[in-house]
Structure 1
Amino acid sequence: MRLTNYTDYSLRVLIYLGLKKDDELGTIKDIAEFYHISKNHLMKITHELGKLGYIETIRGRNGGIRLAKHPKDINIGEVVSKTEEDFHIVDCFSQGGNYCVISPTCKLKHVLFEALQAFLKVLKEYTLEDLIENKDDIYQLLRT
């Protein structure tokens, strides 16, 4: 299973912001430079993360972005489920996908569906707080 860059970058934004102190704001420019990611991609991602209620934007001269929730309240499985466009591992998962001649009796799609459910179940066991518990180590990387 593979996550899209969109989800990967969404998680990176949340990790970056999770490392900030309560009154400290991050900027798209800083995040883009730290991760070597396009600012244009991050603008779309931060906009969506804001609509989903994970981050908030502070406008003005000293504005920026910050988490809208405490890291322990941001579930990784939920973020992945909301940022992934779909989980069509194989074509028969999608409606209107190519018809496979063995589809009516195929066991593969059931095995893959079960694997997908296990994947999402594991992700739902973690929060952003779990991902940043080594905050000091990550923070050192931010400073370099």
Structure 2
Amino acid sequence: MRLTNYTDYSLRVLVYLGLKKTGQLSTIQEIADTYNISKNHLMKIIHHLGKLGYIETIRGRNGGIKLAMNPTEINIGKVVLATEEDFHIVNCFSEGRNYCILTPSCKLKHALNEALMAFLSVLNSYTLADFLHNNDELNALIGDPFSDK
């Protein structure tokens, strides 16, 4: 199982914003620079996370982005489900692209589906808050952009 960059970057954005003090705003450029990610790609992700209700965007000169909910309310499994295009581990998971002649009798598909469900179950057991307990270490790694400048 491999997550797309879109999901990876979505999770990174949420961690970054989760490290902020409550109400403190960040900018897309700040996040892009920190993670060395394309600003244009992040704009799509930020827009999507906003539509999903995970972040709030404030327009204007002093605008920015921040979490729209408490990190304890942001379930990682739900974020992954909302940001991944599909979970077609193999072709037989996709009805439109299944060209395998073994599908009618294959037991592998069921084992892979069971593994996928276990993967999602583990992610569902975590919230964003679970990944923010070591905030001093994380802030040190990203250059502590939250110190007063």
Q: What is the DSSP-based 3-state SS (H/G/I as helix, E as strand, rest coil) of the residue aligned with 1:56?
A: strand
2:133 aligned partner:
133
Aligned-residue identity in percent: 69
With structure 2 as the length reference, what TM-score do the two structures score? 0.94
Give distance in 2, aligned partners of 1:114 and 1:126.
19
1:59 aligned partner:
59
Give distance in 2, aligned partners of 1:42 and 1:134.
25
Partner letter of residue 137 of structure 2? Answer: D
92-101 vs 72-81, greater mean Cα deviation: 92-101
| Residue 20 of structure 2 corresponds to residue 20 of structure 1 | yes
Unaligned runs of 5+ in 2: 145-149
Aligned length: 144
Unaligned runs of 5+ in 1: none
| Residue 60 of structure 2 corresponds to residue 44 of structure 1 | no
Give distance in 1, aligned partners of 2:142 and 2:114.
38
| Residue 84 of structure 2 corresponds to residue 84 of structure 1 | yes
Give distance in 2, aligned partners of 1:86 and 1:143.
34
Cα deviations by residue, 1:33-81 (Å, 9 ceiling, x for unpaired): 0000000010000000000000000111111000000000000000000
Q: What is the DSSP-based 3-state SS (H/G/I as helix, E as strand, rest coil) of the residue aligned with 2:95?
A: coil
With structure 1 as the length reference, what TM-score do the two structures score? 0.97
